[in-house]
Structure 1
């Protein structure tokens, strides 16, 4: 669920350098048994913290469950040890084994969005999870705590400062009578890592409710996670078309628009509040328009430098979902020789935060015909035809431009 962008180019304003990542001081406090489990008084496990959620418009099937789900949210929600492991009882998650943990093997491969329309946020989790230390550095704690308290640092683009957000580990959980229940929003990983759920909750608390993260932009999420500036590139779908760089601003009108933040973050939200695009040529060597070759080369270079990349869609297209955000994991350029002629095949490795619903056009997972016709691509990508990969897929650049409308690059 990605917000609508009002594309208005504004005069460039110098970007404010983000502050350095602050250090947490001292070890996490371990409470005595008598103190019990921490309950955050500022973000209670009640409907107040949920807000008026509408769901993920990019996945209508799961959105249909939301009305029922909100009626069946367990009072007081549920904690990791109640859902996974030896202590789990009536709230045990279906088909889980082992004990819960905060981190184990942080990876973008098993991060899964829940029923909330925060693909823009969860796809950004996957983007920074390519570099596990970036995820770990956001938490003061390095393992699950005895009291269920966690301190998470996030960058607030609106105030342009890092903030430490303290949360408890109670997570929205729903259950039909006599049935297995499940988490409403971001899921723990297959290795029972709960950092995804807790990081999502910290963002929700920062912006006052889960409802306020029900829609947004990947560029904003990446800034909140890294404190570094993000660049957006509006992708031109037409052959030979030029692409446009911009940064996001938000506000009630053009004159008062400020650095973009999370949807409905401003207390003055009304029907006219929205996002605007501002010229970002200064971040692209002074170019207002970007050629296809220039953009491809830069994307490859930025990816090689370890910058986080996400992308958003323009339409439903061969399995690609409209209004949805994905993680851009890798770009590969493959030299091709055919009939005495040389060319370059450009492929992108992409992940859907739904962990399913993949591309089914050329170079999809089971496309034996195309992959076998390009053995060079098989070697360059390391792909094994027929292996399903939890929402991860390869697709060609020319088709990417048809299905996707923008790319977010975070200079982290």
Structure 2
């Protein structure tokens, strides 16, 4: 019987449900449509949805013609854009970058991980996703249009693009940012006069209604909003036996992939402990005063040389003796095999977003294992003895040390490779209606059958010469919509899951008796209060029905 599980950090987004499947090699659903949530997977170059009356280009042109700086009427520089649950004990001053420093720039030397310094908002899950995004320049330029500047045709207006439930949305903002004592309160760059990360965070806050709405979440949510992809999430201790093959295929598809190590407190990169906004602000002021006391004789006002102090330091990471860092995420940049002393060895290449601090065990940059590898193979594996944050580790050590693996599948064919991967996408949108189609989980047989039902036909088995089973691999994702934006109205995430049943040649809604006398062929591992749950399955070719549900009925 299913039982609910509370996510360690479960403050995300939703209202209604969007079940969808991605299958390989072929899956067929009864409905879908090009406007579905994951149609970005089919086309990476879709135009944006026209959600505002005037486009960025029209607003920008008008401001230049009238010689005025843009002021956003939908996300004004006041408390309504900051917090909704309580008033803060101090007054923030909203300033444009030109009022903060003398020589503001949008991007300096390319957008990268070192441009991101976090304030105490609790949105490190969002910033972690930005760090992964900076590794893929094509995606980065889609989310952050680079033809923006504080120098040429500056009008106080900027825009960013996010994937939202069926299409790309262009979010237009002004460049007024909350400050205290002339310092940015929230995200900032390591260079005081660089502002792309702070403005991207503001656009994402506008998308969700306020800065406070970003407090608490996980990396996968923002990864999907940056890419339109579907994320697979694995606890490595429970990972499937073919995890190496899954990772290898993900690299071949050009997917974003990250792995992290929980610390002893249960904190993981991409999540944040719960905390009170008032307490955070009080700590912010205290730390700001302490930092200024440390530099009492230096007047940095109005200069670009002032260091970008993190107003409230957040240091959850702990370096271990092996060189790995707990409470921290690494990008997975390659998965390869090599021959070592006559035996095949599986390797994983990881990159620490810090650009330094590396694994020092077997297969690390200076380890003795490389003495047995010829030069041509070293070149193929791009082995370098340099402290750049990137290193190789054996797959066995990777599985031993790391605790979580996240794979954001971007596209059915890879963005970079020439060969196509045979994927099919099916998308279905629906909703749970109290008293009608909100039947709860299988623990409630009298109402479970009333939940929405989605047909899935698996036609062809996997094309894997190493696998003798007649089997189809596919991925099911279930997302609840808009809950983060509606949090200020009291909306919380529902505890959700799904079950998969085999059925044959019926187009009718399956009734109560079917579920009483037929066991499910597969199901989500647990019911959990997250924005999206997704899971990979392997079943024989046949016809199936997917039943998404909340844990409790009538929700």
Residue correspondence of structure 1 range 338-349 to structure 2 within 5 A: 338=341, 341-349=342-350
Structure 2 residue aligned with 1:404? 403
Would you say the 8 A contact 2:163–2:225 is kept in 1? yes
* Superposition TM-score, scaled by structure 1 size: 0.61
Task: For 2:129 and 2:392, locate their aligned partners in 1 and report how far apart those are by CA, in whole Å.
Answer: 19
Structure 1 residue aligned with 2:179? 173
Residue correspondence of structure 1 range 244-283 to structure 2 within 5 A: none
Structure 2 residue aligned with 1:230? 230
Would you say the 8 A contact 1:154–1:225 is kept in 2? yes
Question: What is the DSSP-based 3-state SS (H/G/I as helix, E as strand, rest coil) of the residue aligned with 1:374?
Answer: helix
Larger Rg, first or second structure (1 or 2):
2
Question: What is the DSSP-based 3-state SS (H/G/I as helix, E as strand, rest coil) of the residue aligned with 2:61?
Answer: coil
1:127 to 1:394, Cα distance in 2 relative to 1, 3 A:
same
Would you say the 8 A contact 2:347–2:395 is kept in 1? yes
1:140 to 1:356, Cα distance in 2 relative to 1, 3 A:
closer
Task: For 1:11 and 1:200, locate their aligned partners in 2 and report how far apart those are by CA, in whole Å.
Answer: 26
Residue correspondence of structure 1 range 5-404 to structure 2 within 5 A: 13-14=20-21, 16=36, 17-18=38-39, 21-22=46-47, 26=57, 28-29=60-61, 31-32=63-64, 35-51=67-83, 74-76=92-94, 78-84=95-101, 87=102, 99-115=103-119, 116-139=121-144, 142-145=147-150, 146-157=154-165, 160-175=166-181, 182-188=183-189, 190=191, 193-226=194-227, 228-237=228-237, 242-243=239-240, 290-302=241-253, 306-316=254-264, 318=320, 319-322=324-327, 326-333=329-336, 335-338=338-341, 341-352=342-353, 355=354, 358=357, 362=361, 371-375=367-371, 376=373, 380-385=381-386, 387=387, 389=389, 395-401=393-399, 402-404=401-403
Task: For 1:109 and 1:382, locate their aligned partners in 2 and report how far apart those are by CA, in whole Å.
Answer: 22
Matched pairs, number: 309
RMSD: 4.1
Q: Deviations over 1:234-266 (max 9, x none)?
A: 1333xxx643xxxxxxxxxxxxxxxxxxxxxxx
Would you say the 8 A contact 1:114–1:183 is kept in 2? no
Would you say the 8 A contact 2:355–2:388 is kept in 1? no
Q: Deviations over 1:337-356 (max 9, x none)?
A: 23xx323151332334xx48
Question: What is the DSSP-based 3-state SS (H/G/I as helix, E as strand, rest coil) of the residue aligned with 2:135?
Answer: coil
Structure 2 residue aligned with 1:270? none
Question: What is the DSSP-based 3-state SS (H/G/I as helix, E as strand, rest coil) of the residue aligned with 1:43?
Answer: coil
Q: Deviations over 1:30-85 (max 9, x none)?
A: 6248653223232233333232799xxxxxxxxxxxxxxx7666412x3223334x
Task: For 2:130 and 2:63, locate their aligned partners in 1 and report how far apart those are by CA, in whole Å.
Answer: 30
Stretches of structure 1 that go unaligned for 5 or more consecutive residues are: 55-69, 88-98, 176-180, 244-289
Task: For 1:330 and 1:188, locate their aligned partners in 2 and report how far apart those are by CA, in whole Å.
Answer: 25
Task: For 1:202 and 1:11, locate their aligned partners in 2 and report how far apart those are by CA, in whole Å.
Answer: 24
Would you say the 8 A contact 1:103–1:194 is kept in 2? yes
Q: Give the C-alpha shift of residue 188 in structure 1.
A: 2.8
* Superposition TM-score, scaled by structure 2 size: 0.47
1:372 to 1:148, Cα distance in 2 relative to 1, 3 A:
farther
Q: Structure with the greater relative contact order (CA < 8 A, sep ≥ 6): 1 or 2?
A: 2
Would you say the 8 A contact 1:331–1:349 is kept in 2? yes
Question: What is the DSSP-based 3-state SS (H/G/I as helix, E as strand, rest coil) of the residue aligned with 1:348?
Answer: strand
Task: For 1:133 and 1:191, locate their aligned partners in 2 and report how far apart those are by CA, in whole Å.
Answer: 26
Q: Give the C-alpha shift of residue 205 in structure 1.
A: 0.8
Question: What is the DSSP-based 3-state SS (H/G/I as helix, E as strand, rest coil) of the residue aligned with 2:70?
Answer: coil
1:382 to 1:200, Cα distance in 2 relative to 1, 3 A:
farther
Q: Give the C-alpha shift of residue 12 in structure 1.
A: 6.6
Would you say the 8 A contact 1:371–1:378 is kept in 2? no
Task: For 2:395 and 2:89, locate their aligned partners in 1 and report how far apart those are by CA, in whole Å.
Answer: 44
Q: Give the C-alpha shift of residue 212 in structure 1.
A: 1.7
1:394 to 1:43, Cα distance in 2 relative to 1, 3 A:
farther
Q: Deviations over 1:111-133 (max 9, x none)?
A: 42412332322222232323334
Q: Deviations over 1:136-183 (max 9, x none)?
A: 3335671225221112222223xx3432222111223333xxxxx543
Task: For 1:345 and 1:383, locate their aligned partners in 2 and report how far apart those are by CA, in whole Å.
Answer: 18
Task: For 2:20 and 2:129, locate their aligned partners in 1 and report how far apart those are by CA, in whole Å.
Answer: 25
Q: Give the C-alpha shift of residue 202 in structure 1.
A: 0.8
Task: For 2:114 and 2:208, locate their aligned partners in 1 and report how far apart those are by CA, in whole Å.
Answer: 26
Would you say the 8 A contact 1:74–1:172 is kept in 2? yes
Question: What is the DSSP-based 3-state SS (H/G/I as helix, E as strand, rest coil) of the residue aligned with 1:137?
Answer: helix
